[in-house]
Amino acid sequence: MHLPVDSFAADASPAFASLRFWLAMSLVLLLSGCATFAPNPPQDQSNICEIFREQPSWYDYARDSQQKWGTPIATQMSFIQQESSFRSHVRPDRKRYLGFIPGPRPSSARGYAQAQDPVWGEYQDQAGSLFARRTHMKHATDFIGWYNRRSQQQAGISLSNPEHLYYAYHEGAGGYQRGSYRGKPHVLNAGSQVAARANRYQAQLNACEAEFQCQRFYQVWPFCRS
């Protein structure tokens, strides 16, 4: 004996299926951090002036972090170029078994600053907010400023020493104090690159920073200053 079919439910099932599809798509976008809408990496990453011309808001975020925590703008941007090449949603590559089977990622690092879950949680508790996102440049620059201030306090590293700030950023203050970076050629090489890039960025920024310092709607470069 067949039970009667609910004609309303039968007619509505396509609509419900469509609704479920769009809800699922919305959830995917939310969980991915809306990567589709993230800025593209700057075309010329060797020149900080060109980076800020493409993304003027990034200058504002880095300047705010500098004023709050003390790390120079050029150092912040050099860190981010080293860690992510200005890609908002990048994560470490998964390990591959047999050359093609995806395995776990080597760490929980993600976003512009490649912050890992434990230290990002500390940042949110101490200085950020629960809504801070590693995929947003505002929060990435603030995180780097906060972390470097902590390295200064815990390990005595000058905020004008990008190379050793990077060693502490990579190894943690404790690892830095133990000198763990000295036995890691890839870390030493990265720290050297960060320092050279930060120095180059600073020289470039000295020549173009006035372009990005117009803070009032009635100010027009080059007739404005911070």
The 10s digit of each residue's pLDDT in 45-80 is 999 999 999 999 999 999 999 999 999 999 999 999
Average pLDDT over residues 203-224: 75
Q: Does the pLDDT at position 42 exceed 50? A: yes
pLDDT confidence of residue 39: 87
Q: Which residue has the higher pLDDT, 133 or 10?
A: 133
Contact 74, 201 (CB under 8 A): yes
Q: Does the pLDDT at position 112 exceed 50? A: yes
What does the alpha-carbon distance between residue 7 and residue 184 come to, in Å, rounded to a whole number?
69
Percentage, residues of the chain above pLDDT 90: 67
pLDDT confidence of residue 125: 95
- DSSP E strands: which ranges in the chain? 96-97, 101-102
pLDDT confidence of residue 2: 46
CB count in 10 Å sphere of residue 161: 17
* Confidence at 33, pLDDT banded by 50, 70, 90: very low
Nearest to 213 by CA among 199, 195, 226: 226
Is the dihedral angle over the CA atoms 63, 131, 166, 148 positive or is it negative?
A: positive
Task: Dump pLDDT digits (tens) for 179-191.
Answer: 999 999 999 999 9
